[in-house]
Amino acid sequence: MNTDVRFILVDDDEIHNILHDIIIKSILGKGADIETFTEPEKGLEFIQKNYPESSDRTVLLLDLDMPKISGWEFLARYDEFSDEIKMQISIYVLSISLDRRDSNKAGHNKNVRGFISKPLTAKMILSIAGNEFEN
Amino acid sequence: MIISVRYKLFIFSIIILGINVALGYAVYNSDRKLLDSEQWLQHSEQVIIQSSNVRALGREMQITSRDFLITDDSVFLEPLNHSQKAAFGYIVLLRQLTRDNPAQQKLTDSLDLYMHKLVNYSAKTIELRGKQGIASVIAYTGDKNRKRYTERINQIANAIQLQEDILYKQRKQINTRNEAAFSRFSLIVFMLMAGFTILLVIVAGKYLYQAKEKRKRAAELAVANRELMFQNKEKENRAAELAVANRELLFQNQEKGRRAAELVVANDELLFQNQEKGNRAAELIVANKELLFQNGEKGKRAAELIIANKELQFQNTEKEKRAEELLIANNELLFQNEEKEKRAWELLIANKELLFQNEEKEKRAAELTIANQELVFQNNEKEKRAAELKLADEERLKMVHELLQRNRELEQFAYIVSHNLRAPVANIIGASTALSEMGLSAEEKAILRQGISASAIKVDDVIHDLNHILQIKSKINETKEIVTFSGLVDDIKASIARLVDQNDVEIKYDFPEINEFFTIKPYLYSIFLNLISNSVKYRRPGNHCVIEIVSHLLNDKIELTFSDNGLGIDLDKKGGQVFGLYKRFHPHIEGKGIGLFMVKTQVEALGGNISLTSEENVGTEFKIEFGI
């Protein structure tokens, strides 16, 4: 399996990030490239700083319900980034929400590749990985 | 038997007085005896002297009378007469002195007799001398009678003397005895008197000393009594205090009992609530399943719609068949027109009949007019009822609107709660799956286990919050009381004093227009506490934090304003979420996002409303309005 995929995890809940990190590493191996952010601004800053120079394929798992900057606001600011950056990053919304309106809204955002309902499982990571390699 | 000292002294004095009287009488008696015996002694002496006088006078009379006889000189007559007189005087005296002694009286009588004989003899001789001369006298005196008389007188006088001498000696003896007795008595009396006096002095001294002692004791007793009285009073005070303290203790015991009972009830309540929480969690799981089931149901409905379309096509073909049937029906109508002409004839006849009936109708019309008036009245009534119904309807609409609003809030609430429950639940599911299915290192397992327990605590927190919120919504029937705003702020200031002191916070308040509100105190307290502690929490670092609370009275409303100079909120972006449950705007500051939600819930529970204005890095102002 190609381990060149980088994962960026943006979730205000530290425990979620740790769990997701462990699950991803169980699929991609201990050496998997994973960046975690509990503050969305820091995630945006990281992207601004490291892209588009980095040539890695990147999957960004984004939580919706966060204080100060919500997932939607994150997406709005992300939309202002250059197309080159957006080409390199696939965003998946990873939310606890059961509300159809949330999944519909995510589906209608052109920068969002998919809506995943928590809890994240190894199977979901596999299907995301598969999805990425198809494209 | 106890006899007082005074009484003893009195009896003692009486006894002494008695003895003194008796002794006095004895001394007096002895003295009189002595005097008597002395008198008798004198008498005896006198008798001896007088008798010797009488004897001497007798001799003198013999001599003088002889001298005269011899000389016939009258010179000698005068002493003779004188002696005679004196002799008789002495004899009278003797008789008097010896009147108690018959023997001596007898002797005195015979002395008197011989003295008379002698005098008479002398007188005879003197007479003879004068008349016949000396010779006759010598003749006459030859019988020697004079000498016999004189000797006789001498003898008697001597006998008297002798007798008296014996008596004198006896009396002297008695007198000496009496004297001795008197001096003995005197000595005894003196000694007794001296003894009594000393005794009396001792007793009196003792009595005086005792009296003095008594007075001292009395004074001491008075002091002691006063001391006792004071101590008694003190004891009474203590007793009263003890009684009060006992009552207080009793009351506290009762209070403890009540508290214990309340605690037992509260424990039962908690147990019940825990069970309820379990039930709710189970219900939530059931509800989730229900949702899944409903999704399946929707798929079924789509299949049903396809069937319905097919049904519509079938109905169109049916309609064409009906058009053909209508043509047949037209033919039928033509036939029926012919029939109608026949009926016209019949109508003419019927018209006549109608004329008659019209007359009848006019009569009825009059009756109807009356009935109409009745109806008009009834209509008015109905309109009134309609207006009332309209009002009720409006009321109902309002209620429906409120219910819808409440329903929307509840939906939102349920959504938020389920979301916040789901997050940790998802975490637990994810982590436990990872733990059981993946080959993880011990370190990773430990981290995940920590994550699971942290999530479980979060679930519990959410359920706890939920319970708290539901309590506010359900317990609006709590007792109301008069609450003063200033008192409330002072209480809160005291309870968060440490926080205030540590963080350079100043809380000012001003309630001149209205300072009281009849309401549920714990709610208002919670509202004040949440808003004040919010202002402290979200103060601007490095800035002197000032919180101002002011009340105003507007017509029928109380307006409370809480303003601070803290971080503030960007209302353009976040305005709609300020009072939302689990909404937070300052992630770097600890908090749960429940405070302002609670404030809004409680304000609304008290029938008020809350709004805010805020500017980032300037401050925030909350405005609460309560109807009076």
The confidence score (pLDDT) of residue A134 equals 63
pLDDT grade, residue B498 (50/70/90)? confident
Mind telling me how many Å the CA of B512 is from chain A's nearest CA? Answer: 39
Which of A11, A34, A15 shows the shortest CA–CA distance to A24? A34
Q: Which of B563, B481, B573 is nearest to B524 (CA)?
A: B481
Quick one: pLDDT at residue A2?
Answer: 46
pLDDT of B419 higher than 80: no
**Mean pLDDT in chain B?**
85
Band (pLDDT 50/70/90 cuts) for residue B1 is low
Q: How many contacts, defined by CB atoms under 8 Å, are there between A and B?
A: 72
Under the phi-then-psi rule, with left for phi > 0, alpha for psi from -120 to 50, and beta for the rest, what region is B617?
Answer: left
How many other C-beta atoms are found inside a 10 Å radius of the C-beta of residue A129? 17
Closest CA to A2 of A127, A134, A129, A131: A129
Q: Which of B415, B425, B428, B444 to mutate to test the interface with A (most CBs of A within 10 A)?
A: B444
pLDDT for position B237: 92
SS3 B625: strand
Asked whether the beta carbons of residue A118 and residue B419 sit closer than 8 angstroms, the reply is: no
In whole angstroms, what is the distance from residue B613 CA to residue B620 CA?
A: 6
Question: What pLDDT digit, counting tens, does each position of B138-155 carry?
Answer: 777 777 787 888 888 888
The mean pLDDT of B194-215, rounded to a whole number, is 87
Among B624, B614, B609, B626, which residue's Cα sits nearest to residue B535? B614
Share of chain B above pLDDT 90, in %: 18
Q: How many CB atoms lie within 10 A of CB B114?
A: 21
| Closest CB to A119 among B429, B440, B448 | B429
| pLDDT band per the 50, 70, 90 thresholds, residue B531 | very high
Give pLDDT < 70 ranges for chain A: 1-3, 54-55, 133-135
Residue in this structure with the two tokens 């599911």, named with its chain if needed: B429
Highest average pLDDT, of A118-122, B225-229, B579-583, B600-604, comes from B225-229
Match 């003419």 to its residue by tokens.
B348
> Is residue A76 less than 8 Å (CB to CB) from chain B?
no
Q: What is the pLDDT of residue B473?
A: 67
Which of B288, B440, B455 comes nearest A22 by C-beta?
B440
Whether the per-residue pLDDT at B477 is higher than 70: the answer is no
Contact B585 A67 (CB under 8 A): yes
pLDDT of residue B475: 59
Give percent of chain B above pLDDT 70: 97
Q: Are B504 and B541 in contact (CB under 8 A)?
A: no
Most confident of B103-112, B214-223, B408-417: B214-223
Q: How far, CA to CA in Å, does B34 sit from each of B27, B44, B177?
A: 10, 15, 9
* pLDDT (mean) for B200-210: 86
Q: Read off the pLDDT band of B476 (50, 70, 90).
A: low
Confidence (pLDDT) at B468: 79
Per-residue pLDDT at B22: 87
Interface residue of A70, A77, A96 to substitute, partner B, most B CBs within 10 Å: A96
- CB nearest A12 (choices: B448, B455, B587): B587
Closest of B619, B530, B535, B531 to residue B569, by C-alpha: B619
- Give the residue, B265 or B301, on which the prediction is more confident: B265
Rounded to two decimals, the ipTM of the complex is 0.74
Cα–Cα distance list, B214 to A66, B206, B211 (Å)? 101, 12, 5
| pTM summary value | 0.40
- Average of per-residue pLDDT across B202-222: 89
The secondary structure element, H or E, covering residue A134 is helix A122-134
Structure confidence by residue, pLDDT tens digits, B32-80:
888 888 888 888 888 888 888 888 888 888 888 878 878 877 788 888 8
Tell me if A19 and B444 make a contact (CB, 8 A cut-off). Answer: no
- Render the burial of B261-286: b for 16+ CB within 10 Å, e for the rest: eeeeeeeeeeeebeeebeebeeebee
- 3-state SS assignment for residue B11: helix
